[in-house]
């Protein structure tokens, strides 16, 4: 059974049109992460929630925001997507600094 579920698996959006990606988990983990992975590159951390505490990476563009309404759900909002935001977006969860479990990813294409 999938433990970290991302929706949708594929998303196409127009340049400048806001888009929201969702992630849910059944593991009751206290940490949730959002990573961006561009083609042939390693995943790059955008931000994470440690419980309710939001932690933004210094180089994450202002265009990217996140919400975590409860333990199980976390959203990635891209306010005005640019062509350079085309990538795979990966959600992950962990209990503290223990191993992270990843969802299947959402492949976002900005046209």
Partner 1 sequence: GEDVEQSLFLSVREGDSSVINCTYTDSSSTYLYWYKQEPGAGLQLLTYIFSNMDMKQDQRLTVLLNKKDKHLSLRIADTQTGDSAIYFCAEVYGQNFVFGPGTRLSVLP
Interface residue list for partner 1 (CB under 8 A): 4, 6, 31, 33, 41-43, 45, 48, 50, 55, 57, 90, 92, 97-105, 107
Degrees (nearest 5) of the Cα angle 75, 95, 60? 40
- 41 versus 80: smaller Cβ distance to partner 1: 41
Q: 3: which DSSP letter?
A: S
Cα gap 7→54, rounded to integer Å = 21
**Cis-peptide, bond into residue 28, ω within 30° of zero:** no
Q: 84: which DSSP letter?
A: G
Question: How many C-beta atoms surround the C-beta of residue 25 within 10 A?
Answer: 21
- 93 versus 110: smaller Cβ distance to partner 1: 93
- 34 versus 81: smaller Cβ distance to partner 1: 34
Q: What's the min distance (Å) between Cβ of 80 and partner 1?
A: 26
- 33 versus 64: smaller Cβ distance to partner 1: 33
Q: What's the min distance (Å) between Cβ of 103 and partner 1?
A: 5
């Amino acid at each position: 059974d999938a433990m970290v579920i991302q929706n949708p698996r594929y998303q196409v959006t127009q340049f400048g049109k806001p888009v929201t990606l969702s992630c849910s988990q059944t593991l009751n983990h206290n940490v949730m992460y959002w990573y961006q992975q561009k083609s042939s590159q390693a995943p790059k951390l955008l931000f994470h929630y440690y419980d309710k505490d939001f932690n933004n990476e210094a180089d994450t563009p202002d265009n990217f925001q996140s919400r975590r309404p409860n333990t199980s759900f976390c959203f990635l909002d891209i306010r005005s997507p640019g062509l350079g935001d085309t990538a795979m977006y990966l959600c992950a969860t962990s209990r503290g600094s223990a191993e992270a479990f990843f969802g299947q990813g959402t492949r976002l294409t900005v046209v």
